[in-house]
Structure 1
Amino acid sequence: MIEMDADAFGDLVDDVFDRIPQSVLDELDNVVFLVEDRPADGSLDLLGEYDGLALTERDDYGMVDLPDRIVLYREPLLSIVDDEDALREQVHITLVHEIAHYFGIPEGRLHELGWG
């Protein structure tokens, strides 16, 4: 486990986010990315979460709909790494994992691909 305050963690997430290919980001519509300390239940078990309706499940989606959310949880992520390099890698994996859920890729398939 490493220690990192919310501001430093946010900067690290921004840096990792900037490395996601622009072609992927261009396909995201009405999605916000957030960092929170922990999930609502207070556990350290969940690293990130996609809260929305996957593209594969949408019929009609318009501008009046609330945005989908991709949330990274700072404390759970910090609790499973030993250094900043490992944290960067885990943040990247978690971002890709949650973005994949937006595109409709299920949990089982992500694990098969090594993104679980």
Structure 2
Amino acid sequence: MRHTTPPSLEDILELAEQAFGAIPAVLRDMVRGTAIMVEDAPDDETLEGLGIENPWELTGLYRGVPLTQKSVLDVPQEPDTILLYREPILLEWIETGEELFGLVRNVLIHEIGHHFGLSDADIDRLESEE
């Protein structure tokens, strides 16, 4: 996808849906039924809750209860959601020159991996898989 203007929220969501199909199957299986949403930037409450001062540092966030902490006896909560933050992703895209599809794919892998307790080494390995 070639852009002459900054990609919109819808463009990033379309890329995310395509990238979701390109992440390792083991990760896709872990998050079946998880919603993917795109927002321009994280809100102040999210940043404060994570102890992040610079909003440009947060490209994505997995909101939900890890499977390891869920129980069949739990009262149903809101569905798990992967949030992608468009402006920080675009800033990283400009700064690194990385292909936007690859960047969005890596953010998805990173958020899913951290949510399920994978180490940075495990996530790096998964990011290099096709």
- If the length of structure 2 is used for normalisation, what is the TM-score? 0.67
Are the counterparts in 2 of residues 36 and 74 from structure 1 also a CA contact under 8 Å?
A: yes
Whose helix proportion is higher, 1 or 2?
2
Do the aligned residues in 1 keep the contact of 2:62 with 2:115 (CA within 8 Å)? yes
| Partner residue in 2 for 1:40 | 43
| Bigger Cα displacement from structure 2, 80-89 vs 35-44 | 80-89
Give the corresponding residue for 1:17. Answer: 20
Match of residue 57, structure 1, among 51, 63, 69: 69
* Structure 1 position 74 matched with structure 2 position 67: no
Q: Report the TM-score, using the length of structure 1 for normalisation.
A: 0.74
Q: Is the 8 A contact 1:50 1:99 kept in 2?
A: yes
State the identity as a percent: 31
Q: What is the deviation of 1:65? A: 2.2
How many residue pairs were aligned?
Answer: 110
Give 4+ residue runs of structure 1 displaced > 4 Å after superposition. none
Q: Distance in 1 between matches of 2:17 and 2:91?
A: 19
Gaps of 5+ in 1: none
The root-mean-square deviation of aligned C-alpha atoms, in Å, is: 2.8
User: Unpaired segments of 5 or more residues in structure 2?
Assistant: 48-54
Please state if 1:100 is matched with 2:113. Answer: yes
Q: Secondary structure at the match of 2:35?
A: strand
Would you say the 8 A contact 1:55–1:102 is kept in 2? no
User: Does the CA-based 8 Å contact 1:38-1:75 persist in structure 2?
Assistant: yes
